[in-house]
Structure 1
Amino acid sequence: MASLRTHPAPGRTEPSAPGPGEADAAFARPRPRPLRWVAAGAAAVLVAMALHALVTNDVFRWEVVAKYFGADAVVSGLVTTLWLTGVAFLGGFALGTVLAVMRLSGNPVLAALSWGYTWLFRSVPMLVQLLFWYNISLLYPRLSIGIPFGPAFTDFATEQLISGLTAAVIGLVLHEAGQFAEIVRAGILSVSRDQTEAAEALGLRGVRTFLRIVLPQAMPAILPPTGSQVIALLKGTSIVSVIAVQDLLYATQLIYNRNYLVIPLLLVATLWYLVLTTLLSAAQYVVERRYATRRRG
């Protein structure tokens, strides 16, 4: 049976089927999403209302904020906050690295001790730890140095040894060590076991393998959570004000207890914390970019 074929009329051509590129372009056209514009407009209105309230509300007393922003007492408290952050970070990261290595070691005793330490100090709130160390003299009025379970060579009063600043340093370092232990452990686990085996085949052992092979490769995985933890630590140091350590927050509290300008002085502390966390975030970004570039190179 003969098949029927149609022919286009003279002077007319049949429309050709769209090619693959044309079809993709047709499907790639963005669809109108009016809800996005409504949400963006609502967010812009809320931001404008918040800024208007900040500028026009007389309770904020921005002239008082400007007066005390660089006051000597505030700057002194700021220095204490930065010092506590640096000491707690260095001590906590060093101790946390040791705990992470202990946790991953083949020694069950060391692994159990590391797990117990991390579990304890990550479970107890930092405020409770600071109060415990600040009041350690109630538990141990005197401490002695001597032979374990034997005679003591000397002893001294704990109350004179543990001041508010000392209690803050001990509490912050021990607490941060528990946090950094898990961060470093996760970073070490991200490095392939083949790297360690290759180092051992080249004659590297123990500490040299860890410092020269494992840790540098683990740093890209360690840095992002470490940066976030340092920022949280900076803000968390404000809790030492409860044990009368004259940090940034405590310095502003001393001032508004005298002049009763609570809101402006709290804004002074808030602005300083915003400045410091912004600088730390920028430093974290730069360090992460350098490690990422070095790793790709």
Structure 2
Amino acid sequence: MSTTSSSPGLCSWTVMGCSVRLLQLLSTSVASSLVASVGTRRVGVDNWFMFFWCFCYVVTLLIIIVEYSNLRSHFSSHWYNFPINYACYAALFCFSASIISATTYVPFLPQGPTRNHAITATAFSCIAAAAYGTEFVGTWVGHRPRRIITYVHTVHGLLKLLENFVACIIFAFISNTSLYQHQPALVWCVAVYSTCFILGTLAILLGLLYCDNWLPIRFPVSQLGLTLFCILLYISALVLWPLYQFNEDLGGQSQRSSDTTCRDEFTTYVCNWDQRLAVAVLTAINLLLYVADLVIASCLVSDRLHPRAPDSLYLWRYYVV
């Protein structure tokens, strides 16, 4: 299916979309190059936003090659789903990288070229986030008259994207393995984050491929079961992570001042205690997202079991499926 249309609005967005993607390439390449050129990378959280920029640059370049060459004709009609979902993810990733860099990286750098490079890289990361956000909104609005509905257009799909996005931020903090390697309960929490992320990714892929007829269980029912399973896992993580990280009787540190990494005034990364707290907060946030997801999935299953009038059913599927 071609991306062009006789509609003037769609044609203008095709031209604008090309410009936006070129801006994405420019901003992500400049951001990663500036930081890498002065060797300011550190082990831990700081490496993640470098990974985000490089990953976004590579994938955007591949999309441009496929979109503006004959390669697209070799893909199925589901190709349309990939760029719009990727744009949503990339906007969130670049935005989070900008926040992480501006709050946990730049303030700790000494005055000089290194700090200036980091500030400029953060600014270009913000530009990249805006460019990806523009592509997502423009594609969504520009194709709505054609009734092209993708998984990311739905409330359920957006919640899945947010759940995986929060999980990626958690992974950035737990990349410091010293936070959990000493306690089996904390290793279990890491396993919970990884398992739920994999299940969420699988759910997104199945939703993008419209595989409702492939599964032995109807897609909404399977989503309901997976979401409930993830909620139970996250409840265990929400209990175990703070318990073993902040309870001194179990080897944790209840006070930030007791963490030696937080007393180093020359540190260039978020100290261990702050990372523990960030993971605990993000765990609670993701649990709330899963609960909201469960409510949406339950309503959808109920709607399937007790169909409404055709018009209301169509609207329900359009905004929620």
Please indicate, yes or no, whether the TM-score normalized by the shorter chain is above 0.5.
no
Q: In which range does the TM-score fall when normalised by the shorter chain?
A: under 0.3
Rg larger for: 1
With the length of structure 1 as denominator, give the TM-score of the two structures: 0.25
With the length of structure 2 as denominator, give the TM-score of the two structures: 0.24
